[in-house]
Chains A and B, each alone.
Chain A
């Protein structure tokens, strides 16, 4: 291109490109005679701008395709009439419009604007219509040899085809600019103008398209920002994969050679598909931004329902995008490309569902359905593309013009970070909404005081940052490899798959029980933490303070105006989980409750306060339901609390049926999602009062009521008495002051009522000993969750009551009250700060620890995972008592306590292990120990902490092999070796492997002891023939007939069927609870386009 020739023309309204401005400013000010006339530069005129390229040699046939365009066609025709460079021939084809379009075209023809008007068909796509028009026009002109018709002569002839939409308004110099560009640069074979959207009433003109590409998922890649206003920033011509057919200028020979637009892509993506083929054939596709066309995009706006775009242009666009990508995919990559397209469709549909844009999700699914159900179009398109023999290097060019494979990811991340940023700004108090004072330029605007100057230096942002750093410091002893273990925490599973397997597996020996739902939620959380259950556990326990702070702040921001009080309330509340020993004891439940309660209160608040009738109004109810699912799953008794509050709320809101309905939703969601669990709770009501893996808790002494009211005696790992007493005492004091200040405020009274109910529940539950399934273990409920609820409510009561107190003080005349208030406030904050300091300095100092779980020698662990599947009896004598566990497979893992560990619901097995441990460590050395251990599938005994006497006693036990071990413990292997499943034939016991396993033939029936708890649900068969179960002892036994074959035994579970249904309901509830996509162009692009078209009409 000649750089001395600019393409600026006579179109004076071009943004950023007015001819009154020179292209470059003079560099040497001396040369300007600056001293004489400082404004002399204003008179500087560039003669170059006046130079016009001679385009008279170009023969251009313009084809206008119309369909039901009476609303927009007049503007188009007027613009065509105003072209300063007219096409050689301007013809139109109408696809059987039913409005005034034919009349308008006829008038234009009569007026000489159009050279001819042809009749098309409504089923014709844009490309087909152009072809039909050209065909008809050629036929008409056959007789006149002198008439310039449309015939290709050579590749480099000067005949051009200009394609026009009926909703496009070309600038007067649009054609000139296009022709000038291709004249200056003869290598260009295909070009297109800069497409603009209609001008907004008080704004600039948004760019619609300047060339186009397509991603691997079929996404339209415009390389433009949303609503990007044209300021001349895109005015450099660029090589692109394609250009829109609206205003496309294509060399006639190229059109002929490529046989026009592909019929498989009748609209929308036809331009990029054509450009793709052009590239492969070695042609050059370049944009001409100096040419401008205003494009109303009525097809995308859905304003042409009779056209091929139909009523769902989004679906058509998506479908054609996928077709183009799949149509041009290399043969060997086609399956992968196909799968990627399907996957992206599903992903986007889910994304739109989550964003509550069901229409767009439906578009995606319809497009996917059509894409999958009608492969014929793809086959036809691929046939045509397969016929292309790409010029050397053109594939690389095409690839360079297409977005990279991660572009979709980038777009997704951009969207998510944008949404997160928006949320953060909202949370941090930054708002796009200006106050009236600011708009009127009031110097004393009240809004400026409270608005942060830098949202990253917002107090909550700083508090969060400090909390995160403090969490790392506090958890310094827990950082490393291994698993977190504590008095209430079993080590996490090795993999999330193992966790999911546990979730769906039935509990042997407990037909009325299913795996508690908290484990499914933990598995879900572990899946979210990159499939690492240990990361999830660590995050919940070590990151509980910042997470709680994050959850509590939005609530506090809504209900407490004073920033200082708000920060105190949030900070103190966030410290409660550690002050109540949650982290040190490994209480996942406390983390979940601490994070969930503020979210629940916020959702409940929205449930009550939102008045609009839009679907958003129900978000609170769904949100409360979703939060309740987590809370009830981890702390089931919360359902009683929720029902109580729900009933009271329903009574209070009895005049608002809609709100009562919302309460019904909030309570109904957990009831429905947790439906499979309710029978388990009804059959074992003790489980209602305890949290996850409570069977490991035991029955400690009940704490005194006064201790509970000071947050004491809820297990080990608490702060020193004086620290706890001072902090919780101050919380009581602040709450009482808040009540004294605002004794009639409903919110304060409600918070106090919640606090007293929560603390009352804590005192009451601490007195109970409940029987926990599946084995009926006696457990004293841990009441930390209710203490947290109680103290959290007291904090809120205090915060609400004292909110605005400092402002009141400012208004009073100065007395001792003001300094007293300041000192009291500082003291209160220092106390909370003291709690934080204890937390950071003492750290997660146990009993929680990170263990490598390597006490058991590797060879024993390997044996436990072998086909023999022997169990291990581990006995720890270090503290004078004998603590024991029966380990199997991969040791005890998170959730195993709620599944009865290795013996499931079998109480006899458990009692027998008790008995055996007594006899082993006592050294009774009786001859029944070995057979009983073998019967329980225990093949190894591991002892640690034993002195020589105890070692000798255990060693005396007949049938225990030679002891071996290391400094961690001693291992005895039973003789003969034990397998979990055995085939018993009289005195002979033959080991068998796990199911399915082959058994040899025998002379008489035998018994198969599978080494798992007896359960009526067990099913076994021998080569498909069911085996009869036998009631014998603790374990499941089947009678095996004399014949040999393959035995299969299985404990069927209904959870694989129920879990997806639960997940679906949860997903729906979560989607309905999630905030919707707010950006209108994403929510409903057709509506946005329609608004643009309508505005332009009004304008």
Chain B
């Protein structure tokens, strides 16, 4: 190809001109590329998951025949989510589809159901599917079940873990399995004793009819010493499981509580809401693995983490359960317990109240998963007991959290922010007018757990119960999702 005819320019001039032109264009390209912002993908406004109907079961059971029934209530709330989706939270009896007299139609509000004597199913539709939260609380002043018992209402599932259940005359456990679905469920029970697996005839293939509850008493036919752990695995359908713990001391009632399932075994688990008094604190650790577990116990105290005296480490046999007393290590301090293990374990703490001149009561604290988004307890303050909010940050970074107490009419009663240090616990006494509920907001990615501790300081029985906070909006705990057609290759 020929040369471009440019008159009046020498080769040097042409060279300079050409180089100047291209360098200028390159510079402009760089400048434009740097100055011009890049387009961002459009955000999809409708990104809130359209969760369908969710159910939870508030499990209760009648006391032994002829014994005082006490009173049992269900407290249900629908936290405010900020969406305009309509929804309703309704209760019905597990055994029959008739309404149970509890209904929440507005976000932020709550409702109570008194005199509950059978399991109740709470169904959340629309916005309430991810906003509903409920607690069942019971109180008896006399009889073998004298004491305070409380537990959050639970969603059905296929796998449940219980640590440190009692299997003796003085420490009875009734496993209450409820099936809210239309098809029967079948579960297998596995028992982990002090020295390993405990074979129990008839434990596999326990059938729970549709819309029925079934109670399995662990103190009958179980040849094991000491606390025992139970794994419930549904081979068909799904169930909720709650363990009713009843303790006695030389035939005198020594407390009662509903023990909720512990979080699934993991290398790090946290047991929130161990109350602060001088009562007994027994940590039970379950190791479902084939190898021995060495578990480091860490107390997430008010001043930070520390190893409890005499219980800094627990060795748990393969497929076994180990217990250790923490009261010496805790020294009456309210705290959460963090277990670090070389193999996945789970655990629970069985606490007893102690007050001179009053009967003791029992409270079970189970390992719980960290909160996602917000943690809710449908019961913050009640005329039955004093309340204290206990929040623990089991992460390695400080966490900026806030909590709000709402009345059941949706009115904000109290708001507070706090910075929670790594591996530490904070408590706040709740004294707002009852009934109220509490919502704790935690940052994304944090590892915060919490509970509401109920105590009865002026009763004949030193009532004690803990209600772990739960995250009703479980959808928010989903990781980031994106379509990727390499999945499945």
Contacts and interface: CB of A to CB of B under 8 A. Distances in A.
Interface of A: 485, 487, 490-491, 696, 698-699, 701-702, 704-706, 708-709, 736, 739-740, 742-747, 749-750, 752, 756, 759-760, 763, 766-769, 778, 780, 851, 853, 855-856, 872, 874-877, 880-885, 887, 891-892, 896-897, 901, 910-911, 913-915, 917-919, 921-929, 932, 942, 944, 948-949, 952-953, 955-956, 958, 962
B411 interface: no
B157 A709 contact: no
Nearest to B54: A926
Given A767-B33, A924-B129, A948-B264, 4 more contacts: A696-B485, A708-B33, A749-B4, A768-B38
Contact of B49 (A705, A880, A924, A948): A924
A952 B3 contact: no
16 contacts: A705-B33, A743-B11, A749-B4, A750-B1, A766-B38, A768-B39, A769-B39, A769-B40, A876-B487, A885-B488, A887-B488, A910-B483, A921-B479, A925-B156, A926-B54, A956-B158
Interface in B412-467: none
A696 B489 CA distance: 14
Contact of B34 (A704, A740, A925): A704
Contacts of B483: 883-885, 910, 913-914
A780 to B, nearest CB: 8
Contacts of B39: 702, 767-769, 780
Contacts of B15: 739-740, 743
A923 B474 contact: yes
Contacts of B96: none
Contact of B478 (A885, A918, A949): A918
A543 B155 CA distance: 57
Given A756-B26, A769-B39, A918-B478, A896 B485 contact: yes
Interface string B14-49: 110111001001100110111011111110101001
B484 interface: yes
B12 to A, nearest CB: 9
A927 B55 contact: yes
B375 interface: no
A739 B36 contact: no
Contacts of A701: 38
Contacts of A699: 40-41
Contacts of B320: none
A743 B19 contact: yes
B181 interface: yes
B29 A763 contact: yes
B484 A884 contact: yes
B181 A958 contact: yes
Nearest to A880: B479
Given A769-B41, A925-B156, A926-B129, A892 B485 contact: yes
Interface of chain A, main secondary structure: mixed
B95 to A, nearest CB: 19
Interface string B208-245: 00000000000000000000000000011010000000
The number of chain B residues touching the other chain, given as a range, is: 35 or more
A742 B238 CA distance: 80
Given A699-B41, A778-B42, A928 B33 contact: no
Q: Which are the 5 A-B pairs with shortest beta-carbon distances?
A: A928-B52, A705-B33, A874-B488, A702-B38, A883-B484
A704 B33 contact: yes
Contacts of A929: 52
A932 B51 CA distance: 11
Contacts of A948: 264-266, 344
A928 B475 CA distance: 14
Interface string B40-82: 1110101001111111000000000000000000000000000
A249 to B, nearest CB: 66
B188 to A, nearest CB: 12
Contact of B480 (A704, A745, A881, A925): A881
B488 A709 contact: no
Interface of B: 1-6, 11, 14-15, 17-19, 22, 25-26, 29-30, 32-34, 36-42, 44, 46, 49-55, 129-130, 155-159, 181, 235-236, 238, 263-266, 344, 369, 474-489
A926 B159 contact: no
Given A874-B488, A922-B474, A956 B479 contact: no
Given A744-B4, A855-B488, A915-B49, A752 B41 contact: no
Contacts of A704: 33-34
A709 B487 contact: no
A949 B158 contact: no
A485 B486 contact: yes
Contact of B41 (A778, A875, A891, A919): A778
B264 A952 contact: yes
Contacts of A877: 479
Nearest to B6: A744
Given A705-B32, A767-B39, A956-B158, A927 B53 contact: yes
Contacts of B488: 855-856, 872, 874, 876, 885, 887, 891, 942
Contacts of A952: 157-159, 264
Given A744-B6, A881-B479, A739 B49 contact: no
B73 to A, nearest CB: 26
Contacts of B41: 699, 769, 778, 780
A885 B484 CA distance: 6
Contacts of B181: 958
A875 B478 CA distance: 12
Contacts of A915: 49-50
Determine which residue in A485, A884, A932 has the highest number of CB atoms from chain B within 10 A of its CB, and name it.
A884
A918 B4 contact: no
Contact of A885 (B3, B50, B236, B485): B485
A20 B428 CA distance: 130
A713 to B, nearest CB: 12
Contacts of A875: 487
B480 A919 contact: no
Determine which residue in B5, B6, B14, B50 has the highest number of CB atoms from chain A within 10 A of its CB, and name it.
B50
A175 to B, nearest CB: 67
A926 B238 CA distance: 12
A944 B485 CA distance: 14
Given A743-B15, A922-B477, A926-B51, A949 B369 contact: yes
A744 B3 contact: yes
B38 A767 contact: yes
A872 B39 CA distance: 34
Contacts of A932: 52
A856 B488 CA distance: 6
A796 to B, nearest CB: 12
A875 B263 CA distance: 23
A487 to B, nearest CB: 8
B481 A928 contact: no
A377 to B, nearest CB: 60
A404 to B, nearest CB: 47
Contacts of B480: 881-882
Contacts of B53: 926-928
A132 B331 CA distance: 136
A190 to B, nearest CB: 66
Contacts of B6: 744
Nearest to B39: A769
Contacts of A708: 33
Contact of B264 (A706, A855, A949): A949
A706 B158 CA distance: 55
Contacts of A872: 488
Nearest to B234: A955
Contact of B22 (A736, A769, A856): A736
A958 B14 CA distance: 78
Contacts of A892: 485
Contacts of B485: 490, 696, 885, 892, 896-897, 901
B159 A955 contact: yes
A412 to B, nearest CB: 40
Determine which residue in B18, B37, B481, B487 has the highest number of CB atoms from chain A within 10 A of its CB, and name it.
B487
